[in-house]
Amino acid sequence: MTATDPAPTALAQGWCALSLLHGRIEAHIERALQAGHDLSVREYSLLDVLSRQHDGEGGHLQMKQVADAVVLSHSATTRLVTRLEERGLLQRYLCPTDRRGIYTDVTEAGRRLLEEARPTNDAALREALDEAAEHPELAPLVSAVKSFHVPAPTSK
């Protein structure tokens, strides 16, 4: 490998394009959520992740799992949970089987706000992707995002 090898340059360019796409999408969604619902992208993501918890095995997430899901540090996630708890959108409670564990759940007010904000988030995401698709360096990434489908879980 030499300093003029095109592979690292192409790889770096791809990473820069992906970073640019992410930044544009996040900024577009942030503006829409703030204007319409007084929510940040991170707050929306946290509510969304926590709303998917269930009472079955593995259904409640530990704070580290939540932090990984919303792509924040553990301490930043804890601060975010505290802010949303103060707004009445989340509540913490002790794990019934392990008194050392603390879980976080979305309150009824949080669920209502999430459901009100979901169409805004989805529309802003579509708008941001459509705008990004007009840029040749981002169009292939937009196509990849639009074609991405998470396979349904298979039962054992």
Q: How far is it, in rounded angstroms, from Cα 106 to Cα 115?
A: 12
Two tokens at 83? 């802010």
Question: Which fold is adopted by the domain 20-139?
Answer: Arc Repressor Mutant, subunit A (1.10.10)
What are the phi and psi torsion angles at 108 (to 5°)? -60, -40
The reported pTM is: 0.85
- Contact partners, residue 154, CB within 8 Å, separation at least 6: none
> What is the per-residue pLDDT for 57?
74
The rounded average pLDDT for each run of 10 residues, N- to C-terminus, in the chain (156 residues) is 66 92 97 98 96 82 89 94 97 80 91 98 97 95 89 60
- Contact status, residue 42 vs residue 50, Cβ threshold 8 Å: no
- Contact status, residue 52 vs residue 70, Cβ threshold 8 Å: no
